[in-house]
């Protein structure tokens, strides 16, 4: 057992969320990794782990490997430190010998060649969150095999299999509820647009489409989780989920950039630098969505899984930073304009609007990228659904504030200052509080 795989154990387990644990069929080909993480799952007192392997072959360049040195096991998150301590005490330590793991089976239990297969279910007697690993302690050996995993909890007095982790079994209900809320949101937004049709701009149509994509995205997510929960497979709903998620995320960043530039509100065109921001953000979001699909549809058993995670995080951070610049440019442009056009009150109102939008966007990005991640990391496995609910509440709050601030009204309150306030507005514009 090499040192590196054990050291990166905590990193892998933090990166991978509690999985939906749908029935997975995987193929491992000539893999020399000492440890392979398959998935992470929260078991109740009725948990079951079912593993089937077939077409197993082990090739070693030095000697015939001991089959007892290769096998599957479950590891609780709180036991990682103890396993690392055991490794530090002995360089020849094999994780399959650890007293802190829950061993499932080793290759010694395989049926005789040429079958080389195994299929068995194991009850999980101690409720907790476990990670399913394969360990290869045979030096200089490569493993090939087909693996089928089923991790689930038994519900309704053991009559029904629930393939969602103990902390995620509420997700179908949560996503369905928020989907209905967004459809109601869409109806109200259409009513507002029709009531103020003379003030409707092209950006309002894009905002309407954004709400449609968000509602459909949540609807598909609810159906996806429902079928995974009951059958172990998404029945194609995952494809629709990824399609609507891709459109929704690209639209969201595009709308934020266009609002931040003042397009359709302050001016009917985009400057060259603003076009460049869109040309950067949209392709990066395409890349981020591809990474998200790879992460969601493969798993940590994939050799490049950690790389795709890093790529997704990097691209997401770049996009979050990029969409801030147009808002800053609009604020500075309005401030410069206010010194020459003599419309202090209206410029002060616009500055106030864009400054507030800047704060809202920063708060939204901070909460959904940092606070939600922290919740998913520190929350007990039985309450993982809280992080998803908090993320959707933050999304709904952001949509509500953004749509309210830039709603189509004939006399926007930000632009409806009285003439006698002009002098006070000029004094405010001389203040440096609008500098970023």
Give me the helices (H) in 262-371, please.
272-297, 305-322, 324-338, 344-366
pLDDT of residue 145: 92
- State the CB neighbour count (10 A cutoff) for residue 19: 23
CA distance 72 to 107: 9
pLDDT of residue 74: 94
**Contact by Cβ (8 Å): 101, 83:** yes
CA distance 233 to 22: 6
Angle at 201 between CA 197 and CA 207, to 5 degrees: 100
And the tokens for 161? 């299999």
Q: Which long-range contacts (CB under 8 A, 24 or more apart) does 334-341 make?
A: 334/266, 335/429, 335/434, 335/435, 338/429, 339/429
pLDDT of residue 325: 86
Phi, psi (rounded to 5 degrees) for 5 = -60, -40
3-state DSSP assignment of residue 250:
helix
CA distance 242 to 236: 10
Cα-based distances in Å from 27 to 49, 52, 330, 364? 19, 12, 52, 40
pLDDT of residue 9: 53
Mean pLDDT by 10 residues, the chain (436 residues): 48 53 85 88 93 90 85 90 82 86 90 77 91 90 92 88 93 97 97 92 93 97 95 90 93 91 72 83 87 80 81 88 86 70 62 86 92 89 94 96 88 48 52 52
**Contact by Cβ (8 Å): 150, 23:** yes
Given phi > 0 = left and psi -120 to 50 = alpha, else beta, which region is 273?
A: alpha
pLDDT of residue 392: 96
Q: Which of 355, 360, 348 is nearest to 330 (CA)?
A: 355
3-state DSSP assignment of residue 288:
helix
Q: Could you please report the per-residue DSSP string of 168-198?
A: TTTHHHHHHHHHHHHHHHHHHHHHHHHHTGG
DSSP annotation of 132 reads E
Domains detected in the chain: 3-162 (2.60.120), 171-434 (1.20.1070)
- State the CB neighbour count (10 A cutoff) for residue 279: 10
């Amino acid at each position: 057992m090499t040192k590196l795989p054990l050291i990166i154990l905590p990193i892998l387990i933090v990166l991978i969320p509690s999985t939906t644990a749908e029935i997975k069929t995987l193929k491992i080909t000539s893999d020399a990794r000492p440890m392979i993480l398959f998935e992470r799952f929260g078991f109740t007192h009725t948990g079951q782990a079912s593993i089937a392997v077939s077409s197993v072959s082990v090739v070693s360049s030095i000697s015939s490997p001991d089959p007892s040195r290769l096998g599957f096991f479950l590891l609780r998150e709180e036991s990682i430190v103890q396993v690392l301590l055991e490794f530090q005490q002995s360089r020849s330590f094999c994780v399959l010998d650890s007293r802190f793991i829950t061993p499932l089976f080793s290759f010694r239990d395989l049926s005789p060649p040429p079958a080389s297969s195994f299929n068995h279910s194991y009850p999980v007697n101690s409720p907790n969150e476990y990670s399913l690993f394969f360990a290869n302690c045979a030096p200089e050996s490569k493993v090939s095999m087909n693996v089928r995993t089923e991790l689930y909890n038994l519900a309704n007095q053991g009559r029904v299999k629930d393939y969602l982790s103990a902390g995620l079994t509420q997700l179908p209900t949560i996503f369905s509820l928020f989907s209905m809320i967004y459809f109601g949101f869409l109806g109200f937004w259409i009513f507002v647009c029709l009531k103020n049709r003379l003030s409707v701009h092209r950006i309002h149509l894009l905002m309407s489409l954004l709400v449609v994509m968000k509602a459909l995205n949540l609807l598909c997510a609810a159906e996806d989780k429902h079928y995974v929960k009951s059958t172990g497979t998404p029945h194609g709903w995952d494809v629709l989920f990824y399609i609507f998620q891709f459109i929704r995320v690209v639209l969201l960043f595009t709308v934020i950039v266009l609002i931040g530039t003042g397009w359709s509100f302050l001016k009917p065109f985009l400057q060259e630098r603003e076009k460049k921001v869109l040309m950067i953000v949209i392709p990066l979001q395409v890349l981020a969505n591809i990474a998200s699909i790879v992460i969601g549809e493969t798993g940590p058993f994939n050799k490049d899984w950690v790389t795709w995670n890093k790529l997704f995080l990097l691209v997401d951070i770049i996009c979050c930073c990029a969409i801030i610049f147009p808002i800053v440019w609009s604020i500075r442009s309005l401030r410069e304009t206010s010194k020459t056009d003599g419309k202090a009150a209206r410029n002060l109102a616009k500055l106030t609007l864009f400054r507030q939008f800047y704060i809202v966007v920063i708060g939204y990005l901070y909460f959904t990228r940092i606070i939600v991640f922290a919740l998913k990391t520190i929350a007990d496995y039985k309450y993982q659904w809280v992080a998803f609910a908090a993320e959707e509440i933050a999304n709904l709050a952001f949509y509500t504030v953004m749509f309210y601030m830039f709603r189509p009204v004939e006399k926007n309150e930000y632009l409806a200052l009285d003439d006698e306030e002009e002098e006070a507005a000029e004094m405010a514009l001389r203040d440096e509080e609008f500098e970023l």
